[in-house]
Amino acid sequence: MSTATQEQAKVEKQGPEQPKPFKMETPFFGQMVLFYPDGAKTARKPVVAHVYSASRSGQSVQLQKVGSTEVNYSVRHVDDPRLRESEDQRQEGAWDFLEEHYELKRLQAEVEELKSVGGGSEVAALRQEVAALKEAFAAFADAKKK
């Protein structure tokens, strides 16, 4: 058997390559999230829900809608590709973080970036210098008008 034929036989035994599992940030117990009952952001308006628990694999969560005793199990994140592949998964609904969560992450990243370019104290000092220069410029402009 030729080398190329042996390699092809190995690939056929292994089957198709499995996609990498979707990795999401795991929400904490009690965190408020948005629940999409139809499993997509484009469907009905979302409702607010609390995270009841997260699976060990971090692939899905259990949610309890605010004002309800009903718990939704195996709810996947709206960006999880399995929602597009499986009607059964969409029937469980989908969830996403509140906009405030994403804004907080953006601000944390900005703070880290500022720290990496010289630290917070240097940035504060630069801001003070800019403020002083603005005051001096305003005073100069006022004096020139007189």
The pLDDT of residue 62 is 92
Handedness of CA 108, 114, 115, 120 (dihedral sign): negative
Q: Which residues contact 1 (CB under 8 A, 6 or more apart)?
A: 9
Confidence of residue 85 (pLDDT cuts 50, 70, 90): confident
**Mean predicted lDDT score pLDDT of the chain:** 81
Cα 70 to Cα 92: distance, rounded to the nearest angstrom? 12
Distance CA 30, CA 144 (A): 61
- The pLDDT tens digits of the residues spanning 50-63 come to 999 998 877 889 99
Q: What DSSP assignment string belongs to 66-115?
A: TT---EEEEEEETT-THHHH-HHHHHT-EEEE-HHHHHHHHHHHHHHHHH
Instruction: Indicate yes or no: pTM above 0.85.
Output: no
- DSSP H or E run through 120: helix 120-145
Most confident of 13-27, 68-82, 123-137: 68-82
Flag whether pLDDT at 11 surpasses 80: no
